[in-house]
Chain A
Amino acid sequence: MERPLDRVKGLKCRECGRPYPASPVHVCEFCFGPLELDYDYEVIRARISRARVEAGPKSIWRYADLLPLDLESGEPRIGAAVGFTPLVRARNLAEEWGVRELYVKNDSVSHPTCSFKDRVVAMAIGKAREFGFDTVACASTGNLANSVAAHAAQARLRSYIFIPAGLEQGKVTATLVYDPTVVEVAGTYDEVNRLCAEIGDRYHWAFVNINLRPYYAEGSKTYGYEIAEQLGWRAPAHVVVPCAGGSLLTKIAKALQELTLLGLIPERRTSMYAAQAAGCGPIVTMIQKDTDVLTPVRPQTICKSLAIGNPADGYYAYRAAKDSGGYGEYATDEEIVEGMRLLARAEGIFAETAGGVTVAATRKLIESGRIPRDEPIVMCVTGNGLKTPEPLHDRLGSGASIQPSLAAFDRALADLKSKTGT
């Protein structure tokens, strides 16, 4: 059972400020605004320090003082090794683009399921256990499905995973292997999500991205904390974030604000940029048209992990980008594939399609002068390319195929050299 945490006052409606006890609810009963964690920052301030964080485990739990999970009783049992992924200095890409300081925050190597969703799921499943649920569930385009299935297995909880039909095979296999109940729904992610909201009303399960959403979303903050700590306790000037529901962008901004408020990093404005596929870019459209009204779209893109036409946090992601002096940019399917190849060729990082979106959007934002070339830029890579190889089929070089003889290799090499002119 849950016991009260002194740093958590409860939940609070982001719109009207009404308070709620810390419980598995996510929507304000009065205005339907989202509920968020309400922390007592004085309690946190009295406890936290750079030294305390640095002495912590090499995982998201080094920031436990800023998270809503009850860990006083010891180390977390679920998701113990999640987070603290590399912040890679992208020197080759920086040189190609003519920028001074470029980084990739690389969650494609997140433990255990190779996407940033491990952060939010570790939080949600830990909370599901505290609340005493025996069943967890989610609506997902794949990465979340992988992570919920894996962490539910770890926690020995039953799991129901709802996915839209037609997901990449890799993502389906990487869910089924944990033996959850997978329900494939004949519809888009938005339809799956709407269905899950209704299912959640009828069945008393812990839907990680619905009734546990306030806790789940807090996990994304760790991505922002790590960026700041790994930069030597400072905020970057620009962060480009792939947007699906829009939550990650808002939570990275919140993380940097919290660290500033607590005196852990010097004050600096960090401009937030939304990256979306051209075939599903409702948040970028809001930013570029400067309107706070979200117009939902029907997704048409190879980037299925960002194919949310009706993003829950669209409004807040728009606000976070605008208020920080950031912007938004689209990437076409061709640009997404080129972005994936560019990141691999230049930096040796194989990101999923969403990473291709981020790389392509960053390049366009730099070329258009939206992002200056002389300030620190972080690109958020949130998932692994091995999960979504399909768009690369027939678009990559094939090398050579030979008989096992030296003569055959000599001929092939001469052939390859004449083709590439090297």
Chain B
Amino acid sequence: MGVLVRIPTPLRTLTKGAAEVQADAGTVGDLIEVLERQFPGLKDRLVEDGGQLRRFINIYINQEDIRFLQGATTTLKQGDEVSIVPAIAGGR
């Protein structure tokens, strides 16, 4: 499914500066593979060696944290907006 992916500043060196990219993928897990093919090196920055999403990365689909959905197996729909956001922010 075609989705819009928002890329945070630290990863834009890999996307040639693009803040938003289009990708076709069925699930969040697939999306990471697809992004890796489009932008080699991206997967390594998002995922630890064991395949787990890095501790300090949060992924949102249409503003919803994927940890409230089905994590990496969450399915994507045409037109979904996916945000990759560094976890370290906030106070109160």
> Given the complex of chains A and B, what is the CA–CA distance between A32 and B55 in angstroms?
8
The listed residue (B19, B45, B85, B90) touching A209 by CB distance below 8 A is B90
> Given the complex of chains A and B, what is the CA–CA distance between A111 and B45 in angstroms?
43
Whole-angstrom distance from the CB of A138 to the nearest CB of chain B?
A: 8
- The residue on A at minimum CB distance from B56 is A32
> Given the complex of chains A and B, what is the CA–CA distance between A34 and B57 in angstroms?
11
Which chain B positions have C-beta within 8 A of A207? 89
Interface residues of A in 182-222 (CB under 8 A from B): 187, 189-191, 193-194, 196-198, 200-202, 207-210, 213, 216-217
Contact check, A27 vs B88: say whether CB atoms are below 8 A apart: yes
| B6, CB-defined interface residue at 8 Å | yes
Which chain A positions have C-beta within 8 A of B85? 194, 197-198
| A231, CB-defined interface residue at 8 Å | no
Contact check, B90 vs A312: say whether CB atoms are below 8 A apart: yes
Interface residues of A in 9-45 (CB under 8 A from B): 15, 26-34
Q: A27-B86, A197-B86, A312-B87 are in contact. Are A143 and B56 (CB under 8 A)?
A: no
Contact check, B88 vs A193: say whether CB atoms are below 8 A apart: no
Cβ proximity bits B54-76 to A, threshold 8 Å, 1 near / 0 not = 11111010010101100000000
The listed residue (A198, A202, A216) touching B91 by CB distance below 8 A is A216
Contact check, B56 vs A247: say whether CB atoms are below 8 A apart: no
Whole-angstrom distance from the CB of B49 to the nearest CB of chain A?
A: 12
Whole-angstrom distance from the CB of A311 to the nearest CB of chain B?
A: 8
One of A96-104, A232-240, A302-310, A394-402 contacting the partner: A302-310
| B78, CB-defined interface residue at 8 Å | no
Which chain B positions have C-beta within 8 A of A34? 56, 88
> Given the complex of chains A and B, what is the CA–CA distance between A308 and B88 in angstroms?
13
Contact check, B90 vs A33: say whether CB atoms are below 8 A apart: no
Interface residues of A in 297-347 (CB under 8 A from B): 298, 305-306, 308, 310-313, 315
| A83, CB-defined interface residue at 8 Å | no
Contact check, A26 vs B89: say whether CB atoms are below 8 A apart: yes
Which chain B positions have C-beta within 8 A of A198? 6, 83, 85
Contact check, B89 vs A196: say whether CB atoms are below 8 A apart: yes
Which chain A positions have C-beta within 8 A of B50? none
Which chain B positions have C-beta within 8 A of A310? 58, 65, 87
Contact check, B83 vs A306: say whether CB atoms are below 8 A apart: no
| B51, CB-defined interface residue at 8 Å | no
> Given the complex of chains A and B, what is the CA–CA distance between A51 and B9 in angstroms?
45
Which chain B positions have C-beta within 8 A of A144? 91-92
Q: A30-B45, A295-B67, A312-B87 are in contact. Are A141 and B54 (CB under 8 A)?
A: no
Which chain A positions have C-beta within 8 A of B60? 194
Q: List 16 A-B contacts (CB under 8 A).
A: A26-B86, A32-B87, A34-B88, A117-B91, A138-B91, A144-B91, A187-B63, A194-B83, A196-B89, A198-B83, A198-B85, A213-B88, A298-B68, A308-B90, A312-B90, A312-B91
Since A15-B56, A193-B89, A315-B55 are in contact, a sample of 5 more A-B pairs with Cβ atoms closer than 8 Å, ordered by chain A residue number, is A32-B56, A193-B90, A194-B58, A194-B83, A296-B65
